[in-house]
Structure 1
Amino acid sequence: MIHPADIREWRDQDVVDPKGHKIGALEAIYVDTATDEPAMATVRTGLPTRQRLVFVPLEEAILGPRYVKVAHARGVVKKAPAIGTDDILPAEQEEAIFKHYGVAYQPGANGGRRLARR
């Protein structure tokens, strides 16, 4: 698991799937607003002129030298909900990310955001 103190250290590192296939580069970490623990990462994918940020859960993530290994296959991650490299995740799109990975979704406190970018 990625600890909050490690977030800046791992930015721009390769994100790989369980077989070691590169998915992209780690862009940002999103924490669960209820626990303040890292929950999702955005991964920069695509061609240099057409990049986007896809979301991937960090449960079971393993940190290695210059990489973060996630528990989901590259094909699954690349089909995940995405945002533009300069965009902000709209609160109403959070649930789609959780559903894509088969994870139960509950909104944050008072119906607010569940994910917050670090």
Structure 2
Amino acid sequence: MKYAEFNIENHKIEFMNSVFGIEKVLLDGKTVSEKFSFSGIKHKLNLNSENFILKSKYKQFDKREIELELVKNGKTIEKQIVQADKKQRIYWMLIGTGLGIGAYELLNLIIESLN
């Protein structure tokens, strides 16, 4: 899902995030960075021989926002705050619940086998 777009001169930088935490940064439609992130990460890219970093920070337990900061040569040039997709929150709640139940059942099996 596309969350944000930054326009630098005649170039377009897009930030995308999947339900499973895969972040992707596209430069003029081509993927330049793809990483897994649970709470945020830095994506490095080069445009016209200049270094850019797109930082993502996911505030999932607070305001459920994704804060995006585009940095050029160490200086912030643009910041965007976008709301996280509601479907994404539901999927993560279901995954968390499933993992919790699975851990509980596993611990019960371990305890029963020790007795």
Give the structure-2-normalised TM-score.
Answer: 0.33
Which structure dedicates a bigger proportion of its chain to strand?
A: 2
Which structure dedicates a bigger proportion of its chain to helix?
A: 2
